[in-house]
Structure 1
């Protein structure tokens, strides 16, 4: 299976051909995929070199000129390093664009901590009005990229990863999808966490929701999954900083007694390079670890057929 990022250049190249408003801004990373597009659209495919603040500023400038900019590099260089430019050049100036990241939380362990960005979504949460897509499969990435570019002048972040689920689902850029139904709690699996969550909850009496658009947060889907019970237990499993969306869950269930457990990437830096799989296990996001953490939180009543 190809990766989400493998879809980026072909999809954007087609969009450049189809829509004269689309522009692409790169900071050296990923430029080889746009060789043909640079030749065909030299005024709308711009490589600024390794200058990430300029990358974001140039994208915002194109938006001010009426274009729909798509800005791409690794997440740590796209969100963390030029955060001031995101805040001011896009937010303060009131323009929109599409930020598309790669490398996610720890997709390239050999690159070290400089190339890891588990806090990107939490950081964007400090700003107003950003839509955040977290696809879990290359097909979903392609669909959400097209959705993001077509989203008028909105501010959109698309988080690509080498981690992926085996099967794509029909995502629409808005709703959470119900995958399983149960009575003893709700587990929300974000993007590439779905397969691990499904394996972890096999045989448990819990509902599973699949989320690929986490901002805005689909409060209605969560409330439907919780149902009309006297209280609610929710676990959210995210491929970035643990607890990023616990406040969103709390807001959705503000009028109901509830408990929420946020699972994701820990704050402690793992200083050995290792592999993606080793980082996943070390952060407790593999299926076996998730099962223990989920059942520990929800209790024995999660076993299928057991109702307390």
Structure 2
């Protein structure tokens, strides 16, 4: 199976052939994947070098001319380092584009903390109007990328990962997908992107409803409300591949008139100061299936019914 980044380069290269409005802006990262596309479209595949603020500025400038810019590098260099440019050159200027990241929270541990961005989605939450996509499989990444590139002038962030679920789920670019059903009013577990398989393994035999989220912003409060309907006090567990608790405010807003409690699981705030492997980082942050089961079971306090996935 190809990776999400490989699929991104292949799909976006084809879209460059099909859509003269599309342009790709790179900051040295990912250049090889677009080498042939750059030969065909030298004016619409731009490498600005290791200048991430310029990467965003060029993208915003292209958007002001009516182009649909697609910007790509590691999440720490795409969202965190040039955050002021994201805020001003897209938000303040009122233009749209597609930010496509790699690296995520700990996808490349050997590169150290400079290449990790567990707070990227939380940071974008401080800005208005961003759609945030977190695919869990290369096939989902292709669907969401095509949707984002054709999405008029919207601001879209697509968070790619080296981690992937075993099989894709039907994603549409909006909303949550119920993949396991508990009894009416059972606790709801929202599994984001590549953590779905771990959540399904962790909740096997538990009386919970599992919702899959490949689109996390806008947050699908309606589907969450429907999932916990009938509970005297709703219980919600968020399992996110970035900073723990990033979406707890969204849950509170969705259930503002419903008694509820929420457990936010994800990457811890404390920095893991060892390189290690992705699998070791998952264990360290309590996101492996065994740790998830212990934490979810302790929160919901029951394990008496199997669901269907």
Deviations 1:268-290 (Å, cap 9, x if unpaired)? 11111000000000000000000
Q: Please report how far the alpha carbon of residue 303 of structure 1 lies from its aligned counterpart in structure 2 after TM superposition.
A: 2.5
2:268 aligns with: 266
- Give me the TM-score of the superposition, normalised by structure 2: 0.97
Aligned length: 304
C-alpha contact 1:188 1:234 (8 A) present in aligned 2: yes
2:287 aligns with: 285
DSSP 3-state at the match of 2:49: coil
Q: Residues of 1 paired with 2:2 and 2:14: CA distance?
A: 18
Q: Please report how far the alpha carbon of residue 8 of structure 1 lies from its aligned counterpart in structure 2 after TM superposition.
A: 1.1
DSSP 3-state at the match of 1:122: helix
Structure 2 unaligned runs (5+)? none
Q: Please report how far the alpha carbon of residue 9 of structure 1 lies from its aligned counterpart in structure 2 after TM superposition.
A: 1.0
Q: Please report how far the alpha carbon of residue 230 of structure 1 lies from its aligned counterpart in structure 2 after TM superposition.
A: 2.0
Deviations 1:103-148 (Å, cap 9, x if unpaired)? 1100000000000000000000000000000000000001000011
1:235 aligns with: 237
Q: Residues of 2 paired with 1:9 and 1:188: CA distance?
A: 29
Q: Where do 4+ consecutive residues of structure 1 move more than 6 Å?
A: none
The answer to whether 1:33 aligns with 2:33 is: yes
Deviations 1:120-178 (Å, cap 9, x if unpaired)? 00000000000000000000001000011111100000000000000101100001000
Q: Residues of 2 paired with 1:228 and 1:149: CA distance?
A: 39
Q: Residues of 1 paired with 2:304 and 2:151: CA distance?
A: 42
Q: Residues of 2 paired with 1:35 and 1:200: CA distance?
A: 42
C-alpha contact 1:185 1:302 (8 A) present in aligned 2: no
Structure 1 unaligned runs (5+)? none
DSSP 3-state at the match of 2:110: helix
- Give me the TM-score of the superposition, normalised by structure 1: 0.98
1:56-205 equivalences under 5 Å are 56-183=56-183, 184-205=186-207
C-alpha contact 1:25 1:55 (8 A) present in aligned 2: yes
